[in-house]
Amino acid sequence: MRFAYRNKKITGVLSVVPKNFKTFDEEMENYNADKSRTKRLKLVMGYDRHHLVEDGVTVSDMAVFGMKYLFDNGLLSKDDISALVLVTESPDYFLPPTSCVIQGRLGLSQDVFCLDINQGCAGYIVGLMEAFSLLAQDDMKKVVLINADILSRKISKEDRNSYPLAGDAIAITIVENADDGSLIQGEIKFDGARHEVLMIPAGGFKMPSTPETAVMHEDRDGNRRSLDNLVMKGREVFHFVQTEMPPLLNGLFDRIGIGKDEIDWYLFHQPNKFMVDKLAEELDVPYEKMPSNIVTNFGNPSGVTVPLNISFNIGKRLLNETFKVCLAGFGVGLTWGAMVLEIGNLNFNDLIEF
């Protein structure tokens, strides 16, 4: 699917990470693997630290904390919010929608449109598409896009493939109409035939959680997990990213008539450092234009790695400068997509701890 939006803009980004973090070195004893090989993987994959929520913390807790930060600091007014879009794969409940929970806890107007979207690695792209579309409605003021995941609870602590990379975080992005004629273009694809490459098998109605689904099993690489845990087929995911993303991106650049060197920042989802660096090599993009440090500093909170990129790697420069950026996400679904837009002169671009 190709898409384009005109006269829309991002006016603020707030990223929120838990204060609590663990380092790879202190968790190494969890893994049934050769220590020397594991230490080599630390450098290649970007393992270092990951930020994790405390027990009992939910997506709505972090979202309400972030929204109150914006209200208390005069960065957002409740009266200016027309819609609240939440992208998450770790909702508070099966039902009601967590966006409604957040709206109620914040005391927002009953006229605020609330929507949950079940998306992960490409969730920021999908969320922006929905936010831009909503702004086409008459009398729309600001759309609040909340991208959030706390998937660390669904990953086995004995899974060396996935747990060292797991991170929890949320990001709040304010999206508004603009009068400058700016054009946002992109493309997104889906392939549900490969959905088993990245999934949590049990817990839904297809396979309800039972004592049997909680039994731990060991794979050929020594990782122990149950059917209640996230399962990532690493080799298949790597192959998917390296074969599907370059043609999508190159085709997008050709179609909109832009050279790769015209893009200031490639702010991509970060499953791990190795995967992002290889993608930069395949696209012939300098490493400094495609950061791979989010996973090293915070872990991988699914699609939240993209706005975290904005807050962490560009930071306060976005308050006074404007950059042409390419945002991209790829993973669960399988889903992969990218968009090119200008971002800058923001009202805020903060990174805070919960």
Q: What's the gap between Cα 107 and its chain centre?
A: 26
Cα angle: 295, vertex 17, 166; to 5 degrees: 40
Are the C-beta atoms of residues 334 and 195 closer than 8 Å to each other? Answer: yes
Where would I find the H helices in the chain?
Answer: 24-27, 35-45, 59-72, 98-106, 123-134, 234-256, 273-283, 294-298, 305-309
Domain ranges in the chain?
A: 1-354
- Residue closest to 61 by CA, chosen among 85, 40, 90, 22: 90
pLDDT in the model for residue 115: 98
The span from the CA of 27 to the CA of 338, in Å, is: 34
Backbone angles phi, psi at 246, to 5 degrees: -55, -45
Tens digits of pLDDT across the chain (354 residues): 999 999 999 999 999 999 999 998 888 777 876 667 667 777 788 888 999 999 999 999 999 999 999 999 999 999 999 999 999 999 999 999 999 999 999 999 999 999 999 999 999 999 999 999 999 999 899 999 999 999 999 999 998 888 988 999 999 999 999 988 789 999 999 999 999 999 999 999 999 999 999 999 998 888 899 999 999 998 999 999 999 999 999 999 999 999 999 999 999 999 999 999 999 999 999 999 999 999 999 999 999 999 999 999 999 999 999 999 999 999 999 999 999 999 999 999 999 999
Cα end-to-end distance, the chain, whole Å: 37
Please give the distance of CA 309 from its chain centroid, rounded to a whole number: 10
pLDDT at 341: 98
CATH topology of domain 1-354: Peroxisomal Thiolase; Chain A, domain 1 (3.40.47)
Non-local (6+) Cβ contacts of 94 within 8 A are: none
Residue 122 in contact with residue 303, Cβ under 8 Å? yes
DSSP of 143-205, one letter per residue? EEEEEEE-GGGGS-TT-TTTGGGB--EEEEEEEEE-SS--EEEEEEEE-GGGGGGEE--SSSS
Angstrom distance (rounded) from CA 354 to CA 347: 21
Strand partners, 186: 3, 339
In whole angstroms, what separates CA 350 from the centre of its chain? 16
Q: Which two tokens stand for residue 287?
A: 């490493």
| pLDDT at residue 33, as a whole number | 67
